[in-house]
Amino acid sequence: MNPIRVVTVIHGYYPRVGGAERQMQFLAPRLRERGIELFIITRRYDRSLKPYEEIDGVPVYRLPVPGPKAVASLVFTLYALFTILRLRPHMIHAHEFISPSTVALLSKRWLGIPFVVTLHRSGPLGDVQKLSRKTSGRLRLDSLRKQTSSFVLISREIEEELTGIGIPPERMTMITNGVDTNVFTPLSLDEKVSLRQKLGLPESALIGIYTGRLAPEKRVDQLIQVWNKVRSDFPGAELLVLGQGTEDAKLRQLAGEGVRFLGGVDNVTPYLQASDLYVLPSIAEGLSVAMLEAMSCGVPALVTDVGGAREVITHGENGWIIPPDQIVDLEQAIRYLLENQEVRTSIGTAGRKRVMEAFSVKLAVEKLFDLYHQVVGKSEAYHV
């Protein structure tokens, strides 16, 4: 049997920062190590990026997206189809129900290539609910319902949404996000102090951290507003904000002393290892990769009750969960956790254990490997 050739179509890839992008960055080289011939097709959203390069041994094709949204989508789709025609994969793995899934649907229709789709977010901002509100979107959902070999789920909430539009259980595969627990690992106290010195961070101050996109739904503005108030009772406490996005300028204007913007950081691991508390106040998530990275580093995670948070965290045991968009609850939780080192240590240790047991990247790679073989094994084209 020949090696399986898979094309992954995704809106963004390294160096773009985001949960889906980071997850694929973890998975792609490991899948190639397992013998999958994997290729990435993504957008060339920045002209300084190369149209083609290999990253960690993974071929990455960045396609043009010129002009307004509709034109950009059309151009991306056409170039993607041409690239797929040249690569002749055995299957396609599309991410989200937008342009990547359009590429997958057309490839199935014209070239007979089977495909799977991963959804990365649930709720009002997720693909299912957004498309369900539009006539054209409902038609797209119907096409995907009929043509997709398997829907890859990262949370039970997404599973419930797909069940609600008529996707049967046998067409869904749960493969949660995962992180490399050998990279995202805790440090001893002495190592932490030494690392802070190298990073130019205060050695003894309390440090909070947010990593991810600076987008409205992440509610980083609420975090900064709370931090500005909390800092008066915790002199020297600092909040590290790692990431880029449309909210950058607005957030910098809101920030007072004790808030550091570090921009897009390739390697977030040392900043997580140097921190005392991770905060994610988002109103919409699938299953946050940033949250899993923090927990794997033994950093206590304070997150909102959205997406797959409760599938990972048991409140007060291995993390802390609050309602979304409740700024008073956010402030109270930050104050409580900053005041109680024993609680932070306890839930940080338990959080690390939880990720190692159920959310390692190794487990995600094995499940994807099996899914790819299952989908391709049913394809007549693979056996010809």
Based on the fold, state whether residues 239 and 217 are members of the same structural domain. yes
- Mean pLDDT lowest for which of 22-31, 269-278, 341-350? 22-31
Residues 203/197, Cβ–Cβ less than 8 Å? yes
What per-residue confidence (pLDDT) applies to 22? Answer: 87
Based on the fold, state whether residues 347 and 378 are members of the same structural domain. no
Residue at 81 is within a domain:
yes
Residues 276/230, Cβ–Cβ less than 8 Å? no
Is a pLDDT exceeding 80 seen at residue 63?
A: yes
Q: What is the pLDDT of residues 19-38, one digit of tens each?
A: 888 899 999 999 999 999 99
Is a pLDDT exceeding 80 seen at residue 2?
A: no
Based on the fold, state whether residues 241 and 310 are members of the same structural domain. yes
> Can you tell me the mean pLDDT for 53-73?
94
Residue at 184 is within a domain:
no
Based on the fold, state whether residues 264 and 331 are members of the same structural domain. yes
Based on the fold, state whether residues 37 and 172 are members of the same structural domain. yes
CB proximity list for 280: less than 8 A, separation 6 or greater: 210, 212, 218, 288, 290, 291, 301, 302, 303, 304
**Torsions phi, psi of 7, nearest 5?**
-105, 125
What per-residue confidence (pLDDT) applies to 383? Answer: 46
Residue at 47 is within a domain:
yes
Q: How would residue 384 be classed by pLDDT, with cut points 50, 70 and 90?
A: very low
Based on the fold, state whether residues 211 and 141 are members of the same structural domain. no
Is a pLDDT exceeding 90 seen at residue 87?
A: yes
Based on the fold, state whether residues 372 and 258 are members of the same structural domain. no
Based on the fold, state whether residues 236 and 151 are members of the same structural domain. no
Alpha-carbon span 6 to 2, nearest angstrom:
12
Q: Which domain holds residue 48?
A: 5-178+361-383
SS3 call for 335: helix
Instruction: Work out the percent of the chain whose per-residue pLDDT is above 90.
Output: 84
Average pLDDT across the chain, whole number: 94
Based on the fold, state whether residues 56 and 157 are members of the same structural domain. yes
Residue at 293 is within a domain:
yes
Strand partners, 92: 7, 115
Q: Which amino acid is at 94?
A: A
CATH code for position 24: 3.40.50.2000
SS3 call for 44: coil
Alpha-carbon span 353 to 321, nearest angstrom:
18
Based on the fold, state whether residues 152 and 202 are members of the same structural domain. no
Residue at 37 is within a domain:
yes
Token couple for 65: 């997206």
Residue at 203 is within a domain:
yes
Residue at 294 is within a domain:
yes
What per-residue confidence (pLDDT) applies to 1? Answer: 58
Based on the fold, state whether residues 170 and 221 are members of the same structural domain. no
Q: Nearest to residue 162, comparing CAs of 208, 131, 185, 184?
A: 131
Residue at 183 is within a domain:
no
Alpha-carbon span 166 to 208, nearest angstrom:
42
Instruction: Please tell me the total count of domains within the chain.
Output: 2
Token couple for 36: 């999958």
Based on the fold, state whether residues 366 and 345 are members of the same structural domain. no
Token couple for 39: 């290729």
